[in-house]
Amino acid sequence: MSDSERLVIVASALSVADYQKHLEDLAKQPGGTRSLSFKTLNEIVNNVMEVKMIRAVYSDRQLAEQLADFWFNHFNVYIYKDLDRWYVIPYERDAIRPHVLGKFRDLLEATAKSPAMLFYLDNVSSADPRSFDRLKQHPVPARPGVKLPPPGPKRGLNENYGRELMELHTLGVDGGYTQQDVIEVARAFTGWTIESPRDHPTFYFDERLHDPDPKRVLGKRIKGGGIKDAEQVLDLLAKNQHTARHISLQLAQHFVSDDPPAALVARMAKTYEKSKGDIRAVMTTMIYSPEFWSRAAFRAKVKTPFELVASTVRALGADMDQALPMAQWVAQIGEPLYQCVPPTGYSDKGVSWISTGALVNRMNFAIALTSNKIRGSQVDVNSLVGTDIGANPQLALDRVETAFLAGQVSDSTRATLQKETTDPQILGAKLDDPVKQVNVGLITGLVLGSPEFQKR
């Protein structure tokens, strides 16, 4: 079995311990993980994308899948940042997925302690600058049994994680924190590192590198000492009212509209505070709100490329034997999975996804899929709209609109689609059959490329 084949199994099922053993086995080979070719490393990324695509299409727990995508994007890491190729698998599986409907505080800590996040936002290299002088005067060994390397060359405080923790993960850009708060949070997180990045990539608190002095964050004194300094920071941020509003706003922007009603966000934030950050309770408040079911929220959100591809495959009931071509289409339309470089994650607003080129790619994808021109996928459109259409393009259009849009199309879309049905490609005959037949696949592709299907 090749390394890439083994990683497919790891990505979809195995435990953290099994994953770590897999890394250890690779490390024992000549050159360890460094010996893997670029092709193999790229296959790792392909495998992770395939697993995500398969879950999105076939999972019976669609809300959980949408939330897994939402929270990964909220706590974004970039898979092509060296070791994060390896770390993203357990990050999504063990830090994100178990908490998508749990307590936000638990999700926050799980991401903070994940090797993927520690490496991506450089906290793994953050240290109290004075710790190296202390270690020279009073050498302190690591905990017995832990394979920590020597502290290495002197380095200083890294503010990346402290800044993004407040700006993106919790309080929001207008959350009332200052640059001094960023520094204090970074100090609190010194010593949060990875035990052995290549051989045993698990969270480890290295007290030798921790800043032991008191900190003050958002006006509150942090005096837990050691690892509890950062844990107190997480407590403080998770229960802050700015966090309640920021998380509620982002959820409402994702599920309701780009500019959700202020009253809805306020009720969700109140639920967040009352439930002490219970994501399930916040989602319940949103889903059972009149705003969620209002006419204004109907088709108010433009599907991201990932949502579009997954929803199209599901709507058509496509038989997907290979998921990678679908993931490649997601990238072609503009959202390469796990490959957003900045910690902001991909935009959740429609304006970021709609352009002339993007619309063409979306239409081309729909037509390619309904015409069975995507490798590894097969669609039987006739079984969905009927086999009695014959040479009647108008009947075909009516059936397709009813099947995929419930007949709810605008006058302008309808006029455009009717015009397209006069195209010679729509009605023609095969070389071995002189009887003209409607190209139902092409009509279906045109309908699935319409503005109405681009929204949810």
Calculate mean pLDDT across residues 421-445.
72
Calculate mean pLDDT across residues 2-9.
42
Q: What is the dihedral of CA 354, 355, 361, 364, to 10 degrees?
A: 90
Residue 153 has a pLDDT of 63
* pLDDT of 31 strictly over 80: no
Q: Which helix (H) or strand (E) holds 427?
A: strand 427-428
Under DSSP, the state recorded for 102 is S
Residue 7 has a pLDDT of 41
pLDDT in tens, 186-213: 999 999 999 888 878 899 999 999 999 9
- Mean pLDDT lowest among 134-148, 156-170, 293-307: 134-148
Q: φ, ψ for residue 313 (rounded to 5)?
A: -60, -45
Q: Which helix (H) or strand (E) holds 443?
A: helix 440-448
Residue 370 has a pLDDT of 96
What crossing angle do the helices spanning 305-316 and 324-333 adopt, rounded to 10°? 140
pLDDT in tens, 113-128: 999 999 999 999 999 9
**Residue 195 CA from chain centroid, whole number:** 26
Distance CA 205, CA 109 (A): 13
Q: Other CB atoms closer than 10 Å to residue 96's CB: what's the count?
A: 24
Residue among 121, 243, 221 at smallest CA distance from 176: 243
* pLDDT of 4 strictly over 70: no
| Spatial CB neighbours of 243, under 8 Å, sequence gap ≥ 6 | 104, 170, 171, 172, 175, 237, 272, 277
pLDDT band at 423 (very low <50, low <70, confident <90, very high): confident
Residue 1 has a pLDDT of 41
Distance CA 277, CA 298 (A): 28
Burial 336-367 (b: 16+ CB within 10 A, else e): bbbebeebebbebebeebeeeebeebbbbbbb
Residue 197 has a pLDDT of 85
- Mean pLDDT lowest among 94-98, 138-142, 359-363, 379-383: 138-142
**Residue 144 CA from chain centroid, whole number:** 37
pLDDT in tens, 48-77: 999 999 999 999 999 999 999 999 999 999
Residue 218 has a pLDDT of 98
Calculate mean pLDDT across residues 382-390.
84
> Look-up: residue for tokens 């905990």?
143
Higher pLDDT, 27 or 249: 249
Residue 13 has a pLDDT of 43
Distance CA 392, CA 407 (A): 18
* pLDDT of 149 strictly over 80: no
pLDDT in tens, 311-320: 999 999 999 9
Residue 16 has a pLDDT of 44
**Reported pTM:** 0.88
Calculate mean pLDDT across residues 393-413.
91
Question: Hey, is 56 helix, strand or coil?
Answer: helix
- Which string of DSSP letters, residue by residue, matches 156-167? ----HHHHHIII
Q: What percent of the chain has pLDDT over 90?
A: 69
- Which string of DSSP letters, residue by residue, matches 178-244? -HHHHHHHHHHTTTEEEEETTTEEEEEE-GGGS--S-EEETTEEE---TTHHHHHHHHHHHT-HHHH
Residue 198 has a pLDDT of 80
Residue 388 has a pLDDT of 83
Distance CA 60, CA 72 (A): 19
